[in-house]
Amino acid sequence: MKQYLVDAFTSRLFHGNQAAVCVPDCWPEDELMLQIAAENNLSETAFAVKTPRGYQIRWFTPRSEIDFCGHATLAAAYVIFNFLETELTQLRFESKAGELIVTRCGELITLNFPAYPLHATAVTDDLSAAVGVRVKEACAARDLLLVLEREEQVLNLRPDFARLAALRWPIIAVTAQGRDYDCVSRCFAPSLGINEDPVTGSTHCLITPYWCRTLGRSALKCYQASTRGGVLHTRLEQGRVIISGQAVLFAQSELMV
């Protein structure tokens, strides 16, 4: 089985978010896919299998399957567009998150994802203690979004990962309005075996509706301020979040399985 290692949401190697992409002829056993993901030890390994209408896609963290992943979808599309079906300009992925449409224009790949609804949730002492600073506002969907007062708080945050892992949300994001970008964020998923995710496309399906509403905008330039860092161009459109970004290939290999 061939595997590709891709840096997503970046135009430079060693930046953005790493994802492994496997495109087998048919579905491996779930246990094998989880073993491959654990061996890769990246935030996500994507598996995509061709169908008459496009591809089915599934995503695995080092510990478990996840229902939706943005950066690994971008990475899988990059692999298919550049190495497997180079004539294509549009892909359809069937997933647990529904049908995902991906297009490309030059080096830019655009993902059409469902927007998470914004549900306000109480700001508790436990939430502030987990992230280590006072939380201004909180919204919840699949993930939890914690809004901070200042960009510097996001950049300098040192959360308590054990406290974060005890929360009921798989991904906890912190965000604030930015200076050079419309918003900045960081995302943590210790319960999934990922203390900090470098660039998280799926959580921007929550970040984008929040900041579009707050800023009165329909399009944003977002920066995820992890050590690797990544830029996402997003817009809100008829209940969908449109996310654009680039990707680069780091390596390809043959798995001995």
| Active-site residue (options: 44, 87, 137, 237) | 44
Residue 223 Cα distances to 24, 59, 176, angstroms: 33, 23, 10
Share of the chain above pLDDT 70, in %: 100
What pLDDT was estimated at residue 218? Answer: 97
* DSSP letter assigned to residue 33: H
User: Are 56 and 94 spatial neighbours (Cβ–Cβ below 8 Å)?
Assistant: yes
Rounded mean pLDDT of 87-95? 97
Is 39 annotated as catalytic? no
CB-hemisphere CA count at 13 Å for 175?
A: 30
**Mean predicted confidence (pLDDT) in 83-98:** 96
Residue 84: per-residue pLDDT: 97
pLDDT of residue 145: 98
Q: Please compute the mean of the pLDDT values over residues 66-84 and round it to a whole number.
A: 97
pLDDT of 25 reads 95
User: Which domains, and CATH codes, for the chain?
Assistant: 2-114+243-254 (3.10.310.10), 119-236 (3.10.310.10)
Backbone angles phi, psi at 139, to 5 degrees: -130, 145
Residue type, 228: R
Q: Which of 150, 154, 192 is nearest to 173 (CA)?
A: 154
Q: Per the structure block, which two tokens stand in for 167?
A: 């929360």
pLDDT tens for each residue of 191-206: 988 999 999 999 999 9
Provide the pLDDT confidence category of residue 65 given band limits of 50, 70 and 90. Answer: very high
Look at residue 53 in the predicted model and tell me its pLDDT.
Answer: 93
DSSP letter, residue 81: I
- pTM over 0.75? The answer is yes
In this prediction, residues 9-23 reach a mean pLDDT of 96
CB 89 within 8 A of CB 103: yes
Sequence letter at residue 233: H
Which pLDDT score is estimated for 9? Answer: 96
Note the pLDDT of residue 64. Answer: 93
pLDDT in tens, 156-176: 999 999 999 999 999 999 999
Q: What is the pLDDT of residue 111?
A: 97
Q: How confident is the model at residue 69 (pLDDT cuts 50, 70, 90)?
A: very high
Alpha helix stretches (DSSP H) within the chain: 30-40, 70-79, 125-131, 151-155, 161-166, 204-215
The pLDDT mean for the chain works out to: 96
State residue 18 phi and psi, 5-degree precision: -75, 140
CA–CA separation, 56 and 234 (whole Å) = 24
DSSP 8-class letter at 241: E
Place of tokens 């970004």: 245
Task: Identify the CA nearest to 69 among candidates 9, 2, 140.
Answer: 9
List pLDDT tens digits, range 97-139: 999 999 999 999 999 999 999 999 999 999 999 999 999 999 9
